[in-house]
Amino acid sequence: MKIEHYATPAELARCYALMRVLRGKLVSESQFIAQAQRQQAQGYRLAGMEQDGKPIALAGYRLLENFIHGRFCYIDDLVTAHEARSQGIGAALLDGLAVIAREYGCAHMVLDTAIGNTQAQTFYQRAGYLALGLHFYRDLA
């Protein structure tokens, strides 16, 4: 399977149902497209793998640089369709993004997951990711 990128409103619309599996707060397809476009202006890219012309795995990512990691690829979102899980598709998507990140001079892949999401943590560890820190969050509302 090859990695596809989704950038236009029509391409993003094809991804809405699957992204909603991960991001249940999404209310509508139009809201998703509008937010994805705002995030694209900040460097966000949406990539995925398809089966029978339908996205079955998606990853939102950014190529960034900071003093902690140097140049790195940050994974914002990663989701695989329920029927396609445990088939190596999510890992293949992450591996493909690592190739892209290396081409852009990135030295690291970085992502966050909830402390209680042990299933995802097990998946990331099997994919070669290490838990090196904690992500702290402060609500400003």
Question: Residue 54: which CATH number?
Answer: 3.40.630.30
Question: How many domains does the structure of the chain reveal?
Answer: 1
- Closest C-alpha to 33, from 57, 4, 7: 7
Rounded CA-CA distance 76/136 in Å is 16
Containing structural domain, residue 80 = 4-126
Strand order in the sheet with 4-6: 4-6, 45-51, 54-66, 70-80, 108-111
pTM of the model: 0.91
The verdict on residue 134 lying in a domain is no
The verdict on residue 135 lying in a domain is no
The verdict on residue 118 lying in a domain is yes
pLDDT digits (tens, 9 = 90+) for 60-100: 999 999 999 999 999 999 999 999 999 999 999 999 999 99
The verdict on residue 132 lying in a domain is no
The verdict on residue 42 lying in a domain is yes
pLDDT digits (tens, 9 = 90+) for 113-138: 888 889 899 989 999 998 888 888 88
The verdict on residue 138 lying in a domain is no
